[in-house]
Amino acid sequence: MSTEVVGLGRRRFLNTAALTGLTLGVAACNDKPETAPAASGPSAAAPAAHASSATHLKPGELDTYYGIWSGGHTGDMRILGLPSGREIHRIPCFVPDALVGWGLTNESKAVMGTKPDGSLRYTVADTHHTHASYKDGNYDGRYAWINDKINSRIARVRLDYFVCDKITELPNVQGFHGIFPDKADPVDPAINYTTRVFCGAEFAIPLPNNGGDINNPEKYRSMFTCVDAESMEVRWQVLIDGNCDLTATSYDGKLAATNQYNIENGVHYEDMMSSERDACLFFNIARIEEAVKAGKFKTVGTSKVPVVDGTRESNKDPKTALVAYVSVPKNPHGVNASPDAKYFICAGKLSPTATVIELSKVLDWFDGKLPELDKAIVAEVEIGLGPLHTAFDGRGNAYTTLFLDSQVVKWNVDAAIKFHAGDKTAKYVVDRLDVHYQPGHINASQSETRAADGKYLAVGCKFSKDRFLPVGPLHPENEQIIDISGDKMVLLADHPVRGEPHDFIIFKRDLLKPKQVYDINDFPLAIKDSKESGVTRNGKKVTVKITSQAPAFSLREFTVKKGDEVTLILTNLDKIEDLTHGFAIPKYNVNFIVNPLETKSVTFMADQPGIFWCYCTHFCHALHLEMRTRMIVEA
Ligand code: RUQ
Ligand code: CUA
Ligand code: CA
C-alpha cells in the first residue's frame, strides 16, 4: 500500500486513483474507517469510481489477461479478454461450428471422429472444465484441455493457433467431469511441466457396460483416468469405490485428487446423500505407474487400457496404497490447489464448510508416518451455504462461491487453520460480497498457478434473473468481474453470456504468443502454387484444387459430373494477418473458412446437376462479393 493514501476516505481515494489513472493494483487501501469489521455483512459493492475505468477499455486498448472459458452444453471453448470481459473467440472442438466449417471439413472430422459411413460420431457435447499446460508452476502456453461430460471425451486445444487438434474418448467411464493437467513429474525433477492430464468420471456404470449387471447397481463402478498430454492416449485408469467429481493436482506432481460426493455408490438421488461424510481421494501417481509397469493391472471389456485397483479394500496399507480416501463432509464439490502448493481445499456443497487438506501430511500417510489419514485435514470451517469452488489471491486468502447464499466469501486459510486448531479468536472470514445470482464457478487472475496475483476475480453466476434486458424465457448467465486487489471485494461489471459456461482460467497475456498466420507446410494437402489448381479425375473420384488470393479464387470455374465423389481442397495463399476467406457451395450444404496459409478440404457427392456459384463468405476485400467461382455439375 502506498503511504500517501492513508487517511483518505476510500471513495475519495478511489476517485483520486481513477483521476490520476492509477491501476487497480494500487487500490489495496486499508483505510479502516469505512471498512466493515471482518466477518460482518456483505460488502456494499457500490460501484467504485475506478471500476468502469478498469473494465471499460478505450477503443484500441487491449486487455491485460486472457480468459479461457468452457462453453457448457454449447460444447465449445471461449476466449475472453479480461478485465473487459469481452468475448474474443470461440474455439469449436466437440460439436460442429458453421462459421469455421468445423465438423464439415475432412480435417476437422478426422479430429472429431466419424462413423464408418463418414458422418460425425457425435454432434452434442457438454464442456465444463478447462485447464492449460504448466511449466514451473505457471502456464506455458502450449495447450489447453477441456472435457465433454456427455460422451466422456477430452479435447486438446493448441494455444499457438487456438484450434483443437486432438480428441480422445475415455473408455470404461461415463460422466467425465473433473479435469486437471499435472504440473510436474512425480519422479523426474527435470520434467517440471505437464505430461499427464487427469480425468474424473462422475457416473458409475457396470464394467464392462455391455448389457450385463444392469440390475446390480452395487456392481456399478467409476474410474479415475490418466491421459498422456502429448499423444492424447489413455495411459491408465484407477478403479475406485464411489465416484469422481472435480480434480486437482499438486505442484510437485506427486498427488492428484478428486472429490467424491457419492461415497454411498447410490443409484438414486436420495441414496447419494445418506452419508454424513464423503471423501476426497488422493492418487499416488508414482505408485500407480509402478504398478502398471509391474503388470499389476487388468483390462475391462474391449479396452486395452491398464486398470489398477484403487478400491478401499485393496488400499488399506499406507505403504502400498495407490489411493488414499480422506473423509470430507457430505457431498463436496470443488477441490482446488492453493498457490503456495501446500493445500487442497474441498468446498462443502451440502455442508456449509471448506475443508483444508495438507498435502505433506497425505504424503506422510503414504510413507507410513501419519497413522490416521484424516489428520491431514488441518481445517474444516464454516463459510456459508452451498460452497462450490475456490480461487486464491496469492496473499493467503481463498474466495469460495456460496451457491445458496448468492455470495462470494473471502476467507484466510491460515486463520482458518488456527481456528480449527482451537484458537476461537482467529477471524478467518475476511469479507463477503453479494453476487447475482447463485454462483458456481469462480477463478482469479493466475489463481491456479504459483503466480496468483490477486487482481481480478471472475464469478460464473448461474442465474441472471433481472440483471439484463429480458429476452424471453431463456436468460443469459451473468459473469461478474470483481476487483480483489484491496481488503474488500469490489464488484466491477456484469456480463451476459450465452449458456452455459462452467469453469475458466485467467492468466497474463504475455504467457501466450499466438501465431496469426499458418505455416503452409503444416498441411499435407497444401497447394503451394496457384498453378497447381485444377480438376483431376480417378474414375468417379474427382479432386478439385483451388487457391484463394484476395479478391479471387484461382479457378473461375470447374466442372464435375453428376454422381462424382468430389474432394475440394482449398489453400488460402494470402499470407497477411486477418485475411481469411470463406468458401460456400449453394445447395450442397458446404461452407468453411480458410485462414492465411491454411488448407482445408471437403468431400461431397455431386448429386444435383446445374450451376452453383461458390462464393467467399468471409469479408476479405472491396471485391469480396465478386470473389466467386462457378461449379458446373454436368447431368
Ligand atoms: S461443476 S458449478 Cu461441472 Cu464445474 Cu461446479
Ligand atoms: Cu474472399 Cu471474401
Ligand atoms: Ca454423499
Q: Return the best residue to mutate from 441, 443, 448 for the ligand 1 pocket (most ligand atoms within 8 A of CB).
A: 441
Check: CB of residue 84 under 8 Å from CB of residue 56: yes
Is there an atom of ligand 2 within 6 Å of 614 CB? no
The burial of 423, by beta-carbon neighbours within 10 Å (0-12 exposed, 13-18 middle, 19 or more buried), is given as exposed
Is there an atom of ligand 1 within 6 Å of 50 CB? no
pLDDT of residue 52: 52
- Whether residue 452 has pLDDT greater than 80: yes
C-alpha–C-alpha distance, residues 271 and 242, integer Å? 12
Q: What is the pLDDT of residues 215-232, one digit of tens each?
A: 998 899 999 999 999 999
What global pTM score does this model have? 0.91
Reading the block at residue 313, the C-alpha cell is: 479394500
Check: CB of residue 43 under 8 Å from CB of residue 432: yes
Is there an atom of ligand 1 within 6 Å of 462 CB? no
Phi-psi region of 53 (alpha: psi -120 to 50; beta: other; left: phi over 0): alpha
Q: In what order do the strands lie in the sheet with 590-594?
A: 557-561, 628-634, 610-615, 581-585, 590-594
Residues of the chain with pLDDT > 90, as a percent, come to 89
Q: What are the CA-CA distances from residue 581 to residues 230, 261, 593 (Å)?
A: 31, 49, 6
Check: CB of residue 420 under 8 Å from CB of residue 380: yes
pLDDT of residue 29: 35
Give me the sign of the Cα torsion angle 363, 366, 368, 372: positive
Q: Out of 402-411, 492-501, 543-552, which region has the weakest mean confidence (pLDDT)?
A: 492-501
Closest to 548 measured CA to CA, from 632, 624, 475:
624
Give the 3-state DSSP-derived string for 403-421, with helices as H, strands as E and coil as C: CCCCEEEEEEHHHHHHHHC
Q: Return the best residue to mutate from 146, 388, 400, 435 for the ligand 1 pocket (most ligand atoms within 8 A of CB).
A: 388
C-alpha–C-alpha distance, residues 499 and 492, integer Å? 21
C-alpha–C-alpha distance, residues 462 and 27, integer Å? 29
The burial of 20, by beta-carbon neighbours within 10 Å (0-12 exposed, 13-18 middle, 19 or more buried), is given as exposed
C-alpha–C-alpha distance, residues 202 and 261, integer Å? 9
Q: What angle do CA 513, 133, 511 make, to 5 degrees?
A: 30
pLDDT of residue 269: 87
Reported as type and span, the H/E element at residue 289 is helix 285-293
In the three-class reduction of DSSP (H, G, I as helix; E, B as strand; rest coil), residue 50 is classed as: helix
Q: What is the pLDDT of residues 178-198, one digit of tens each?
A: 999 999 999 999 999 999 999
47 phi/psi in degrees, rounded to 5: -60, 120
Q: What is the pLDDT of residues 528-555, one digit of tens each?
A: 999 999 999 999 999 999 999 999 999 9
Ligand 1 center from residue 616 Cα (angstroms): 40
Residue 624 alpha carbon, nearest atom of ligand 2: 2
C-alpha–C-alpha distance, residues 359 and 252, integer Å? 10
Reading the block at residue 88, the C-alpha cell is: 474474443
Q: In what order do the strands lie in the sheet with 234-240?
A: 174-181, 196-203, 222-228, 234-240, 307-309
Single-letter amino acid code for the residue at 152: S
